[in-house]
Amino acid sequence: MTNLLPITVVVPTLNEEQMLGACLSRLARFAQVVVVDSGSKDRTVEIARAHGAEVLGFEWNGRFPKKRNWTLANHAFRTPWVFFLDADELVSDAFCDELAATLPTTNHSGFWVSYTNWFLGRRLRHGGANRKLALFRVGSGEYERIDDQRWSSLDMEVHEHPVLVGSTGAIRAVLEHKDDRGYARWLAKHNDYSTWEAHRLHALLRTTGEEGRPKLTWRQKAKYHGVGRFWFPWAQFVYGYVLKAGFLDGYPGFVYACSKAVYFWHIGVKVRELRATADKASPINEGECA
């Protein structure tokens, strides 16, 4: 096919045989597709190769870099753009058409991408936009440099944001995030996410001096300012369920709004636990250090 999009799509995987085929089947218009796998035990690698994707093996040692930054540093890109796509995210023709019209003339270094969620068997159409900075020029930056010392089992940057040189724009066409593999899996995944977020916030609170503090986006600043306060989970529920009309998604919309509120409550509880543990480990006075 001629006129391929000058983008390398990078799909991080670990046991993603259920959704990977559907994801890769929609990427024919991209110049290169790379699957970065963390030692899957199912048919993930077989499916990737069957769809013509290049497969890279990755093993995390518990420190920086994680999977996406490792790929940025070690893969020889043949395109000027890189797009990080999860195995349960599906692109559309409208999305590809917008990329084809936008990239040749843009001065931006990166683009925010929006997506809709599937939850409890239903596509959520309300409750607030979900988006991430997933498309950017090769060499314009990397994901936040965070050495999380195995705060969780996450070997891929999830809540880390790319730090880019240059401006960013937004792609209007929306991706479909079809992560609908049961509520138990959702809870387990977000328990891991909340553990990482709690350690991240705890580390930020203990950082002193401007030199040691990372640059945060306004969304990160708002989140880290509110997390841990009693009102923050309630505010998240009101924002998603009421102000962003999550109630129009029926029962799944209600459960999703409640679950997101509980997620932020879990972060606050875990931060308090980490702080209490740190306080107990600190000497009360110099005499106790002798």
Among the three residues 130, 147, 177, which one is the final residue of a domain in this structure? 177
Q: Could you tell me which residues come within 8 angstroms of residue 256 by beta carbon, excluding any fewer than 6 positions away?
A: 117, 119, 120, 124, 127, 240, 246, 249
103 in any annotated domain: yes
Same domain, 134 and 197: no
CB 229 within 8 A of CB 264: no
289 in any annotated domain: no
Neighbours of 243 (CB within 10 A): 11
Same domain, 189 and 142: no
286 in any annotated domain: no
Same domain, 120 and 256: no
Residue 260: its pLDDT value, please? 94
Token reading at 167? 């401006």
**Burial of residue 254, with CB atoms counted within 10 A of its CB: 0-12 exposed, 13-18 middle, 19 or more buried:** middle
| Reported confidence tier of residue 219, pLDDT bands at 50, 70, 90 | low
Residue 285: its pLDDT value, please? 45
Residue 25: its pLDDT value, please? 97
Same domain, 103 and 37: yes
Token reading at 179? 């992560």
67 in any annotated domain: yes
* pTM across the whole model: 0.88
Among the three residues 156, 177, 198, which one is the final residue of a domain in this structure? 177
Distance CA(34)–CA(120), nearest Å, equals 30
Q: Supply the mean pLDDT for the chain.
A: 89
Same domain, 9 and 128: yes
Average pLDDT over residues 170-179: 93
Domain CATH for 154? 3.90.550.10
Same domain, 200 and 143: no
State the residue range of the domain holding 233: 183-281
Same domain, 87 and 196: no
User: CA separation (Å) from 36 to 11, 67, 79, 196?
Assistant: 6, 8, 17, 22
Residue 230: its pLDDT value, please? 87
Least confident of 34-38, 183-187, 201-205: 201-205
Coil vs helix vs strand at 7? strand
Residue 1: its pLDDT value, please? 46
Same domain, 133 and 34: yes
| Reported confidence tier of residue 279, pLDDT bands at 50, 70, 90 | confident
273 in any annotated domain: yes
At 241-257, the pLDDT tens digits run 999 999 999 999 999 99
290 in any annotated domain: no
Distance CA(3)–CA(29), nearest Å, equals 8
Least confident of 22-26, 111-115, 169-173, 218-222: 218-222
Q: Is the pLDDT of residue 290 over 50?
A: no
Q: Is the pLDDT of residue 142 over 50?
A: yes
Nearest to 95 by CA among 116, 113, 107, 80: 113
Same domain, 125 and 213: no
Among the three residues 115, 144, 177, which one is the final residue of a domain in this structure? 177
Q: Which residues of 27-38 are buried (b: 16+ CB within 10 A; e: fewer)?
A: bebbbbbbbbbb
287 in any annotated domain: no
How many domains does the chain contain in total? 2
Same domain, 37 and 160: yes
At 81-132, the pLDDT tens digits run 999 999 999 999 999 999 999 999 999 999 999 999 999 999 999 998 789 9
Of residues 221 and 68, more confidently modeled = 68
Nearest to 115 by CA among 139, 137, 95: 95
Residue 186: its pLDDT value, please? 92
At 77-92, the pLDDT tens digits run 999 999 999 999 999 9
Same domain, 142 and 164: yes
| Reported confidence tier of residue 2, pLDDT bands at 50, 70, 90 | low
Nearest to 265 by CA among 230, 239, 238: 230
Same domain, 18 and 153: yes
84 in any annotated domain: yes
